[in-house]
């Protein structure tokens, strides 16, 4: 979870987020090289006393500084397109979770398990325990098994919301009358926090998301106990 003053990405918890971090580092290296080269050339021009008063054009130079930016953009665009298609790909999911955004809470349905469903509200500040996070914890967490391909179907009941978990590299709009889907796999256990990322009204910042990643055996035990209750 991100804390105050934390400027980097959250630690990745899915292969998609790892790819996004790699692409960020790749792009930053290219930007640093370009910025360094341009800065060096500008700095050298300021202190260069050599002037060619008869230089009107240089075709070779113009060809170079036209082709070089195109090659740099291609070097950035190819991995960007690859990740874009990876984010939209759904690889034979093992389970499906349905998510509906409301003003101002989320509802979830595990349709693979006899219509198991519940609502998830933010825990008010006056009901927090010592181990809860203010404005981030919910009364009913989304329990998901790790190392399992999961598909999430996302929609909304009233206005546009956005279901976002930064540590998993997930952000999908919840739009009334439309069904969006995303697929991911969590590669480690833990708690992963997110929030609605689309301004949806007065309590937009009070509808957090919490995913609890556990082992498959623990998940099946939770499903059994939930249905029994």
pLDDT, tens digit, 9 for 90 and up, residues 127-158: 888 888 888 889 889 999 998 889 999 999 98
CA–CA gap between residue 12 and residue 187 (Å, rounded) = 9
Domain limits, the chain? 15-45+59-88, 95-228
131 DSSP assignment: T
Specify burial of residue 206 (Cβ count, 10 A radius: 0-12, 13-18, 19+). middle
Q: Hey, which residues does 111 pair with through a beta bridge?
A: none
- Are the C-beta atoms of residues 183 and 151 closer than 8 Å to each other? yes
Residues 6+ apart with CB under 8 A from 112: 95, 96
Q: How far is it, in rounded angstroms, from Cα 63 to Cα 48?
A: 24
What Å distances lie between residue 42 and 68, 70, 120, 146, CA to CA? 18, 21, 56, 52
Q: Which is more confidently placed, 82 or 2?
A: 82
Q: pTM (2 decimals)?
A: 0.80
- C-beta of residue 185 within 8 angstroms of C-beta of residue 114: no
Vertex 95: Cα angle to 91 and 97 (nearest 5): 110
Residues 6+ apart with CB under 8 A from 162: 171, 172, 173, 174, 196, 197, 198
Distance CA 193, CA 164 (A): 9
Provide the CATH topology of domain 95-228: Immunoglobulin-like (2.60.40)
Q: What is the mean pLDDT of the chain?
A: 87
Alpha carbon distance 78, 54 (integer Å): 41
Model confidence band, residue 41 (pLDDT cutoffs 50, 70, 90): confident
> What distance in Å separates the CA atoms of residue 112 and residue 102, rounded to the nearest whole number?
22
Beta bridge partners of residue 31, listed in sequence order = none
Q: Sorting pLDDT into bands at 50, 70 and 90, what band is 160?
A: very high
């Amino acid at each position: 979870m991100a804390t105050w003053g934390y400027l980097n990405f959250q630690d990745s918890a899915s292969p998609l987020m790892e790819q996004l971090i790699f692409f960020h580092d790749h792009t930053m290296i290219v930007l640093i090289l370009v910025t360094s080269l341009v800065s060096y050339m500008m700095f050298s021009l300021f202190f260069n006393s050599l002037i060619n008063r008869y230089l009107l054009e240089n075709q070779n130079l113009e060809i170079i500084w036209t082709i070089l930016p195109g090659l740099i953009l291609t070097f950035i665009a190819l991995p960007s397109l690859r990740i874009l298609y990876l984010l939209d790909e759904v690889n034979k999911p093992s389970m499906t979770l349905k998510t509906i955004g409301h003003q101002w809470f989320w509802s979830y349905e595990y349709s693979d398990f006899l219509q198991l469903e519940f609502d998830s509200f933010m825990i008010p500040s006056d009901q927090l325990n010592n181990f809860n996070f203010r404005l981030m914890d919910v009364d009913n967490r989304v329990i998901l098994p790790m190392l399992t391909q999961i598909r999430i179907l996302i929609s909304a009941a009233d206005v546009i919301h956005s279901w976002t978990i930064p540590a998993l590299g997930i952000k999908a709009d919840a739009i009334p009358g439309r069904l969006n889907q995303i697929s991911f796999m969590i590669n480690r256990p833990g708690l992963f926090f997110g929030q609605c990322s689309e301004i949806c009204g007065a309590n937009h910042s009070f509808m957090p998301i919490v995913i609890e990643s556990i082992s498959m055996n623990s998940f099946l035990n939770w499903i059994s106990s939930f249905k029994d209750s």
